Structure 1
């Protein structure tokens, strides 16, 4: 098997479609189809079920998926070790929460870019759960996430400590007044959302409706308009643009304390670009 074949196989598996894989790989669809057929013939088994719309992995395909991810990661690690013996270079993809990308990462990344200008850094934002899945699927090299990290294939190191606060419309002045009919949150998989929902259940503030947003600005704007409440880190909501539009309420310590972790895959030696980022945080 060739690494190039495995990269095509992985792309088709992730996209669930020959045509979408061809678009991502910047090649014609017939080439992708041919390479997949050649790989199947060499292995003597079907790797994909062909459907009217897209493809799905067979049992053999699922078996190959894990090996392919590890082989490609090792090939990348070997290439970097040989071709970049000293200075970090190449592409580094990092998953991150929207809040971390907005507040914690800008000064860190400015320093990183100044020190390592030959690294092409790519940030992929999303809820913690999504970032962890991307990490396990080898779509990113590391991820900034919050909450408990209990997966045996991952290693987590503390990056930042956050204090969560309850953010409400400006006319609410105490926790005792809070009986929300709506909570304004990021989509499922967000650690802050999980913390908020757990707190509401424990304190008997039920029922409530959920409104999902894709940005901090959307959440804060709707809180200011009186549409609901949310949990966000104090480092986010204390920025000047939010000070006069919302109220911020201190939470009990066991609810407020939240660690942001930098997570990577266990069993892999961090590439030089990732190690440089870890060193700046440490």
Structure 2
């Protein structure tokens, strides 16, 4: 599989626009469209359909998008590690859950880098359970996660409080629904073991409900893929408010209140209790929990 084509597809979905993706990748729109067609030809499936609201993932496209995220991350890690062998500049590797890492954190990294220009900053984005695993495996030393149980071996510092909200597309008519109505909605949720899924399960437990009581039509491991599905009218989802700021401004997504539903939670920056932080890691932790962080 051609990774250049895969990158073109992944970026198009992320930007929900061929023109914006082409600009980001520094290619022409016809050139990007050809790369997308070539990927579909290689895989023998249709991945995207175009609409006046951007691009829409097909069912096959959703599957490929999930794998693309992983494959491109591995490619980036290979390039990073080979570069590190040749480069003696100081390094800061940050692991982050997707809710923060894909939306809010890039602006913070940019701001921090402007102060510490000599620093090589690398951001690894995954779900919270994988970030915790990487911390315990000593693959990374600091991470940003949603709260999980049984973290006695990790230090936790609160960054910001967020809220889990029910969202549908702009055509949704109701502003408020009952819990019984919520249980019948076609839901597209984050994958098992993600921080968001963990929060949903905890909420349901407090209501004497189980995840199997919901009408889940499928799971995706990408907030962006979930949002694309919702915008195209495939269903609803429960997402952190931090991840839908832009869509709410553009009115492509709409929040729906669920009676007696209130799920606030914290994001934390975390590291192993027995680990001695480097000076740059200490400075980044102080920066990210301060008002200077400048989330996007």
Structure 2 length as normaliser, TM-score?
A: 0.59
Counterpart CA distance in 2 for 1:139 and 1:156 is: 18
Which residue does 2:118 correspond to in 1? 118
The 5 Å alignment of 1:81-230 reads 90-169=90-169, 170-173=171-174, 174-176=176-178, 177-180=181-184, 182-200=186-204, 202=207, 204=209, 206-230=213-237
1:279 equivalent to 2:286? Answer yes
Number of residue pairs aligned between Structure 1 and Structure 2: 200
Structure 1 residues 121 and 149: alpha-carbon distance in aligned structure 2, compared to 1, 3 A threshold: farther
The alignment partner of 1:189 has SS state of coil
CA contact (8 A) 1:187 1:214 kept: yes
CA 1:149–1:123: 2 relative to 1, 3 Å:
farther
CA deviation after TM superposition for structure 1 residue 203, in Å: 6.7
| 1:126 CA displacement | 1.2
CA–CA distance in structure 2, aligned partners of residues 225 and 148 of structure 1: 32
Residues 144 and 218 (structure 1), Cα distance of their counterparts in 2 relative to 1, 3 Å cut: same
Alignment CA distance shift 1:118-1:171 (3 Å) = same
CA distance, structure 2, for counterparts of residue 252 and residue 262 of structure 1: 32
- From the CA coordinates, give the structure whose radius of gyration is larger: 1
Partner SS for 1:239: helix
Q: What displacement does 1:280 show? A: 0.7
Q: Report 1:11-22 matches (<5 A).
A: none
Contact 1:184-1:228 within 8 A present in 2 as well: yes
> What secondary structure is seen at the aligned counterpart in 1 of 2:104?
helix
Q: For the structure 1 residues 252 and 182, does the alpha-carbon distance in structure 2 shift closer, same or farther, using more than 3 Å as the test?
A: closer
Structure 2 residues without counterparts, runs of 5 or longer: 1-78, 83-87, 290-296
Task: Spell out, residue by residue over 1:195-245, the C-alpha distance to the aligned partner (whole angstroms, 9 max, x if none).
Answer: 224445637582423522233221012112332222212232131477433
Change (3 A) 1:146 1:273: same
For 1:228 and 1:189, how far apart are their aligned partners in 2? Answer: 21
Q: TM-score, normalised by structure 1?
A: 0.62
Shift of 1:107: 2.3
Partner SS, residue 111 of structure 2: helix
- Do the aligned residues in 2 keep the contact of 1:127 with 1:188 (CA within 8 Å)? no
For structure 1, the 5+ residue unaligned runs are 1-22, 27-83
Deviations 1:28-65 (A, max 9, x none): xxxxxxxxxxxxxxxxxxxxxxxxxxxxxxxxxxxxxx
Q: Distance in 2 between matches of 1:253 and 1:114?
A: 44
Whether the 8 Å contact between 1:166 and 1:249 is mirrored in structure 2 is yes
